[in-house]
Structure 1
C-alpha cells in the first residue's frame, strides 16, 4: 500500500482527508498535517519526515500539498526520495479519493500520475458545461 500524507496551510489538509474518508471510508497510512504561521519550520519539517516514515508500508509515500511553491510544498520537497517518496502540489478531493481506491494496486510512479490526472479531470467550468448541453 502506498502511504498518503497531505500537508497544507491551515486546516485544509485535515478537512480534505476527512472528506475523502467520508466517501471511501477510514484509511490506514492516510495522514494530514497543517502548517500554521506561528509554527517552527524545522519542527514541521521533522514532523513531515516522521509522518512519511510512519506511512511507508513498503510501496512508498505520496505527499500532496495545497500549492506548489508554498511553505507546505517546500517542506515536503525536502522528503523526496527516488522511488520512495514523491510530492504533488495542488491537492484536491478527487485526487485523494482516487488515490485511496488505487494505492494498493499501482506503483508509486503510476499512482502519482493517476492522482495528477484525476485532479485535472474534475476541474470544470460550469457555464461551459451547461452551454454544451443546450
Structure 2
C-alpha cells in the first residue's frame, strides 16, 4: 500500500492537499506537514516519522525545495529507516501531486517516482515559448 506525505514551508503542504482534493475528492492516503519558522530540522523529522503510522506502507514524501529543511528532514528519516520503502522527491507542485494521486494505488512507488520526475519537465511552461512554438507550427 502506498501513502503520500507532503512537506513544505509554511502552510503550503496543507493547501496543496486541499487543492488536490478540490480536483480528486478526499485523498485519505495523503498527509500534509507544515514547517514553521520557529521549527528546526529535528522537529520536522519527528513530524515526518510520526506521519508514517503504517509499518507495512510505502511512503512517497513530496517536498517543496531541494535541500530545504523539509527535504533534508525527510531524507534523514528515509536514511534512518532504510528497511522501509520511503522515496523523497523535491519540487512539489499541484500537477505532481495530482499525478501521484492518480497512480497511488495502481503502481509501485518506484514507478510513481520515475513518472513524476519525468513529467515534471512538462509541467512548467512559458507562455511566450508556447506562443512561438504554435506560430512555428503554422
Please show how residues 4-83 of structure 1 align to structure 2 within 5 Å.
Answer: 4-51=4-51, 53-54=52-53, 56=54, 58-80=56-78, 81=82
Tell me what 2:89 maps to.
88
Whole-Å Cα distance in 2 between the matches of residues 75 and 61 of structure 1? 14
Which residue pairs with 1:3 in the alignment? 3
Q: Deviations over 1:5-58 (max 9, x none)?
A: 01011111111111111111111120111111102542321111110x22x474
Larger-gyration structure (1/2): 2
Q: 1:24 to 1:118 in 2, by over 3 A?
A: farther
Q: Which deviates further from its counterpart, 4-13 or 118-127?
A: 118-127
Separation of aligned partners in 1, 2:128 and 2:56: 44
Gaps of 5+ in 1: none
Where do 4+ consecutive residues of structure 1 move more than 3 Å?
A: 56-59
- CA change 1:66–1:94 in 2 (3 A) is same
Q: Deviations over 1:57-109 (max 9, x none)?
A: 74501001100101111101012236610100111111110111111111111
Q: Distance in 2 between matches of 1:21 and 1:119?
A: 20
Whole-Å separation in 2 of the counterparts to 1:106 and 1:38: 37
Q: 1:58 to 1:119 in 2, by over 3 A?
A: farther
Could you say what the CA RMSD is over the residues aligned between the two structures, in angstroms? Answer: 1.7
